[in-house]
A and B are shown apart, each in its own frame.
Chain A
């Protein structure tokens, strides 16, 4: 696994953990109608510690002492991933607006704090698509090369 793939794995794990945490907050606050408890943070802290340990182990092991940060193919992969991420942002925003319009109707409105969740959702979607796009491109070419 080269540095680009490792970076994508780390980014993906961080965004998945964040998505899980935000999902927990949303359910806790809006579905269960209660505030989160400190004791509920224990699994999150454990998961964060495990992830940090995995990151350290992943970053220490290198394919070769001469391995570059990113070569020309990695740059092309990153460029495609940025494009995919940008498109995902547009699609996510369009889908969010459409769903809200269909659910609430023409005269409907949402509280201002919903925009915060939409913003977090956009960031999560962009990060997830960016990481997955890198891993798919790398794995696709590696599989074909075997």
Chain B
């Protein structure tokens, strides 16, 4: 948990999918609303299975939902 540099477009995708609420998305992927909130805020990095379930909820790929900064290959590369 804690800060991570993986950004996401979950909020945008929710609004594009009939203004899906955080609770509705949480119910679809099997987590609590607080977890979706933390993921959207970038305060929690989801596990791979959860990331895939979120992508499937929006009928898209994981890369379209989550983004890792270009050029970074290790945590120490951040500067």
Contacts and interface: CB of A to CB of B under 8 A. Distances in A.
Contact of B35 (A3, A73, A137, A146): A73
Contacts of A71: 30-32, 35
A146 B40 CA distance: 10
A67 interface: yes
Given A71-B32, A72-B46, A142 B37 contact: yes
Contacts of A2: 32-34
A77 B46 contact: no
Contacts of A146: 41
Interface string B15-38: 000000001001100111111011
Residue with the greatest number of chain A CB neighbours at <10 A, chosen from B30, B31, B37, B47: B31
Nearest to B32: A2
Contacts of B77: none
A138 B32 CA distance: 12
Interface in A122-146: 137-138, 141-142, 144-146
Contacts of A4: 32
B50 to A, nearest CB: 6
B20 to A, nearest CB: 13
Contacts of B34: 2, 5, 73, 138, 141-142
Given A66-B27, A77-B1, A144 B43 contact: yes
B52 to A, nearest CB: 13
B58 interface: no
A68 B23 contact: no
A141 B27 contact: no
29 contacts: A3-B32, A63-B23, A63-B33, A64-B26, A64-B27, A66-B30, A67-B26, A67-B27, A68-B31, A68-B32, A71-B31, A71-B32, A73-B32, A73-B34, A73-B44, A74-B32, A77-B1, A80-B1, A137-B1, A138-B34, A141-B1, A141-B37, A141-B38, A141-B41, A141-B44, A144-B38, A144-B41, A145-B38, A146-B41
Interface of A: 2-5, 63-64, 66-68, 71-74, 76-77, 80, 137-138, 141-142, 144-146
